[in-house]
Structure 1
């Protein structure tokens, strides 16, 4: 029960941070994709199953509150959760260089995946628009990622939840 309540708090905190920051603290629409960065952190430290579930729930929530192609964020964040979870215990998660590389690659893959989904399924008003945010957001995510990873590691230490989860 303690683990479930912790994940619920993380779920709602992630939504508040992502949408609150992008609504009130963005610069000309540019804000980091906190859900993506937190999802990479969860995948690398807790495993694939947890990251997939959070990615799907965050993506579905994002799809519900946006006017984008429905299901696109759920699919892409689930895929990012799965792939980052597969890096669990394979990469040194504590190295800043690895955090930056993985976050940059995931950010570019996220935008490319969104472009592909819009290219295949987007018709009428659902057209993918290229703008400066698409170019700058992966770099912004890359700069913010070490701080999110550092904060996440401190929270794991404080709440003593670094124990490995069993993957099924």
Structure 2
């Protein structure tokens, strides 16, 4: 039960960060994808099942409030959660360089998948993809740059929470 409450707390915090405070934490108008960072962190630290569920819930929440194709973020966060969870034992998540590289690839997968879904579903594949390479690459770089700080905070929170629950 405490684990569920902890995940709900983190879900609430990251939704607040992404939807309300993200625009105030930006670099030249581009703010990090905090939800993507959390999903990757969760995948690297907890495995596949929890991460897919959280990715699905985050994506569904974002899709409900978005004007994009419904389900696009749900699919992308679930897939990235699966991939991060699948490779959790292959990477040392505590190294900053590893965090940045993994977040760079997770961001690339997110935006490539986003673009592919848009290409397939809008106007039968005849639409012009409206995202510029510069904009997407900037979003990926900003997210990857913020990842080590968020990973550090999450790691400290996890240690405190885990320590608190094992003593009782």
Asked if these proteins are the same fold (TM beyond 0.5), I'd say yes
The equivalences for 1:29-68 within 5 A come to 29-68=29-68
| Residue of structure 1 aligned with 2:146, choices 144, 147, 150 | 144
Tell me the TM-score normalised to structure 2 length.
0.89
Aligned equivalent of 1:69: 69
What per-residue deviation string (whole Å, max 9, x for no partner) do you get for residues 54-110 of structure 1?
000000000000100100000000000000001222211111111111100010110
* Secondary structure in 1 matching 2:145: helix
* Secondary structure in 2 matching 1:130: coil
Give 1 or 2: higher helix fraction. Answer: 2
Does structure 1 conserve the Cα–Cα contact (< 8 Å) formed by 2:55 and 2:74?
A: yes
Please list every run of 5 or more consecutive structure 1 residues that lacks an aligned counterpart in the other structure. 164-168
* Secondary structure in 2 matching 1:160: helix
Does structure 2 conserve the Cα–Cα contact (< 8 Å) formed by 1:22 and 1:29?
A: no
Change (3 A) 1:99 1:34: same
C-alpha distance in structure 1 between counterparts of 2:53 and 2:128, whole Å: 28
C-alpha distance in structure 2 between counterparts of 1:22 and 1:74, whole Å: 19
Aligned equivalent of 2:135: 133
C-alpha distance in structure 2 between counterparts of 1:23 and 1:157, whole Å: 29
How large is the Cα RMSD of the aligned pairs? 2.1
Equivalent pairs counted in the alignment come to 162
Tell me the TM-score normalised to structure 1 length.
0.89
The equivalences for 1:1-168 within 5 A come to 1-27=1-27, 29-123=29-123, 128-131=129-132, 132-160=134-162
Moved >6 Å (runs of 4+): none
